[in-house]
Structure 1
């Protein structure tokens, strides 16, 4: 977000609001207010995907054209899950700041959990000039419960080394390294053992006890040195999904294994094809000697039984000279697919339709809807994913206003159909990187992480 804070009205200025939502690993220090833990634990146990930073939205409360120094700015964040459904309980861990990079000025924003899926953020406006607001999702409420659980039950997931040294036979020097940790009757620290298993080093003033496994050949009094030992990862696979939702080369390959993936759409969908080819080294692109802008393109991974296809969505299509025979309608392609548990069909339809009446676009979308319904009728275990239109155009040929109307038609047409809708509109509109109809690598990677979470939720 950019604001002008100079104590006077600024007539004619255009204010641009940006939301930066990033998922990062972090340790939860303190929950501001406690949500309904039972609901969250139930959600975690049933495989709930958690809060999605891509779908979470915000509004500026009582927005004004200019502000006085010392005033307060309030932002309301509305948390949504990966299905773009509003959350009804709190517990998400957000961090917010007001800053301006050029002057290196910044101030922290106070986040208050309203316990209903919404959060109020309060900023003090302390300087003249411009400022930018960044709101980051550190942990979803589901991930917070995982973090809290391991804090309370797995304190020994960090352990330490104790070094015992002392004289041995024939003027030798004995050395033993053992595991040490705090003595506590809970939090997993009792797993070190009981009875005579350990040496206990008591501090009489603090009344705390440092506990080490008993060395085999040396007395407890021979403890000489201390160091960090290491980490134990006790997260279950489901918990790992909640804490980290980023896919590596290995997990991407595993997710795509034994899948036939058909992509149709415009050049922003082709960016997804290109991402997978780069992300999975074993995917080899074949040269079909066609116009690259319109396809068809294909990449094959024989080792992992993956075939990846992309082609343009048919006319109207702004492209270079292309064989008419290579331009297929999306609905016709879907009609020609048998479908099944190994088939994934992904499509988008957007920028090339912005110069046409909305009823023409609606006609095209409804024809695709009919084809999708038929596909899911004959093969209900087929995965269908729809990518919405992203932002980027500001002129009369492709204004974002046009694109927004197309997105609304897409959502309306498929609201009752068993498909995934990956809504990239807000991801591209609110990202900190420069806006472009062809999003940069950071945004594409974020889109791919969500796409893969649809394909491989477990």
Structure 2
């Protein structure tokens, strides 16, 4: 029986009680005032860490304590918290959040052998303050293109490209007055606005693509977000910097513990696992490694729906390569934008991939191929189906209230699906970590801002999804954020093949736990 949740099937809006829970879960301390000089910000050079009470040896499963001391560029102890540090034990990662200048970290010792602690200042509390300011603002940081097309005189075609964006919030549109065409999704109520074409009518919108980016940073904020700044006549890197500290070797002895098979309702700890010889060892459940033949057996007589963005397309492409005799159907759609479909007739396997609806930063594609996830789930009968969706990467620069609204609609659709077909497997894939692309470095301060915004907002979005879905029996959370950030490969929104292989093994371990 499906447990009751506060997002009812009659009302998309979360209840006041749930909204309050969401806000409390996402509380993040920030400075009580804005700084005026860079030297007041947290310094990775002068911040340090130390291991507390280091013993001669430990057993697997025990924890060590690490103290991080945050100081500014004048070597003064920070008087407020909110810095975002990452503490790693080789590949085990923990995100740290405390309320003063000294932070405590508990690191799990997950493997037998030797280990060392590594701590990195991802971004300072002053940066977090700026991120929060723009997170809560309606400033349009990303724009989109709408391609209108229609018949012209003498059998010609008229084509016009205009700017489009989301209509949301108390301020209404990002353009004022009678400026725009409004495209409302009948079932979700979401409104997409495009500037009114000069020659064509509003119903001639045919294609969509990502458009220009717009930085909200003022000159001082740009200094904070620039990779290197001059402080005391020295060039210093302010972001994503390792801090100095205790380099002692930690000796870990074996300790045998049993781990249960994968199922819905399991909590994801931090850390959620570690890599050993490029194989993810999960602390959540017993992850299997699937051969190609085992993949085919696992997916036999199943229809798999992969929804969301290009990160689930990576999973589609991996399964396409690995599952024996799985062949892609030619749907006459673009490879990057889809939708895509692959079938294997002998074992009756069908795999679909489709991106979610706008807002979406993709190459030019048909607007009719952009479906809202909730609408697609409503069209699925359920049963021998595996539904995987992700809804993170393209939402980080839009209002969180809009994100909650969209997630509530998906939640509503999932509740209805599991009510009519409780045997359906529903999996929520988290977002991946993000790295700066080489061609973006020309706009350095903005894209450093982009990456930092990604870290903070992904955490906030993931927490919102988790809270809104945690009371629904049968929903599985797949935290691939930790799987991408814990690997030695450089952080990338599209991780390398070894990480994708582990992602899919984890996915199939829930579909076929034995």
Place the TM-score, normalised by the shorter chain, in its bin: 0.5 to 0.7
Q: Say which of 407, 411, 422 aligns to 1:380.
A: 422
Corresponding position of 2:369: 326
Pairing 1:141–2:197 present: no
Q: Distance in 2 between matches of 1:74 and 1:352?
A: 28
Corresponding position of 2:494: 438
Q: 1:132 to 1:438 in 2, by over 3 A?
A: farther
Q: Distance in 1 between matches of 2:115 and 2:394?
A: 38
Q: CA deviation at 1:135?
A: 10
Pairing 1:402–2:457 present: yes
Q: Say which of 295, 300, 316 aligns to 2:359.
A: 316
Write out aligned runs for 1:12-23 (5 A).
12-13=44-45
SS in 2 for 1:413: helix
Corresponding position of 2:157: none
Q: 1:99 to 1:328 in 2, by over 3 A?
A: closer
SS in 2 for 1:254: helix
Deviations 1:297-319 (A, max 9, x none): 00000011100000001111111
Q: 1:416 to 1:439 in 2, by over 3 A?
A: same
The number of aligned residues is 275
Q: Distance in 2 between matches of 1:135 and 1:437?
A: 34
Corresponding position of 1:370: 412
Q: CA deviation at 1:13?
A: 3.3
Write out aligned runs for 1:283-432 (5 A).
283-340=326-383, 342-393=384-435, 395=447, 396-397=449-450, 399-417=454-472, 418-432=474-488
Corresponding position of 1:97: 115
Q: CA deviation at 1:385?
A: 0.4
Write out aligned runs for 1:265-276 (5 A).
265-276=308-319
**Comparing 258-267 and 440-449, the one that deviates more:** 440-449
SS in 1 for 2:376: helix
Pairing 1:61–2:79 present: no
Is 1:284–1:299's contact at 8 Å kept on the other side of the alignment? Answer: yes
Deviations 1:34-71 (A, max 9, x none): 9xxxxxxxxxxxxxxxx9xxxxx9886113579xxxxx
Q: CA deviation at 1:247?
A: 1.1
Q: Distance in 2 between matches of 1:294 and 1:368?
A: 21
Q: Distance in 2 between matches of 1:133 and 1:297?
A: 49
Q: Distance in 2 between matches of 1:294 and 1:378?
A: 31
Normalising by the residue count of structure 2, what TM-score does the alignment of the two structures yield? Answer: 0.47
Deviations 1:187-212 (A, max 9, x none): xxxxxxxxxxxxxxxxxxxxxxxxxx
Q: 1:357 to 1:255 in 2, by over 3 A?
A: same
Deviations 1:418-454 (A, max 9, x none): 2000011222222211110111111111111111110
Unaligned runs of 5+ in 1: 1-9, 18-30, 35-50, 52-56, 67-72, 81-89, 101-127, 145-241
Deviations 1:233-252 (A, max 9, x none): xxxxxxxxx98721111111
Q: Distance in 2 between matches of 1:442 and 1:345?
A: 23
Is 1:61–1:74's contact at 8 Å kept on the other side of the alignment? Answer: no
Deviations 1:59-109 (A, max 9, x none): 86113579xxxxxx99799999xxxxxxxxx99754432399xxxxxxxxx
Q: Say which of 493, 503, 506 aligns to 1:450.
A: 506
Q: Distance in 1 between matches of 2:475 and 2:253?
A: 26
SS in 2 for 1:361: helix
> CA-atom RMSD, angstroms?
4.2
SS in 2 for 1:380: coil
> Greater relative contact order: 1 or 2 (C-alpha under 8 angstroms, separation 6 or more)?
2
Write out aligned runs for 1:247-266 (5 A).
247-266=290-309
Larger radius of gyration: 1
Q: CA deviation at 1:287?
A: 1.7
Normalising by the residue count of structure 1, what TM-score does the alignment of the two structures yield? Answer: 0.52
Q: CA deviation at 1:143?
A: 6.6
Deviations 1:92-142 (A, max 9, x none): 754432399xxxxxxxxxxxxxxxxxxxxxxxxxxx999698999998611
Is 1:389–1:425's contact at 8 Å kept on the other side of the alignment? Answer: yes
Is 1:291–1:321's contact at 8 Å kept on the other side of the alignment? Answer: no
Q: Distance in 2 between matches of 1:137 and 1:361?
A: 45
Q: Distance in 2 between matches of 1:286 and 1:78?
A: 40
Corresponding position of 1:217: none
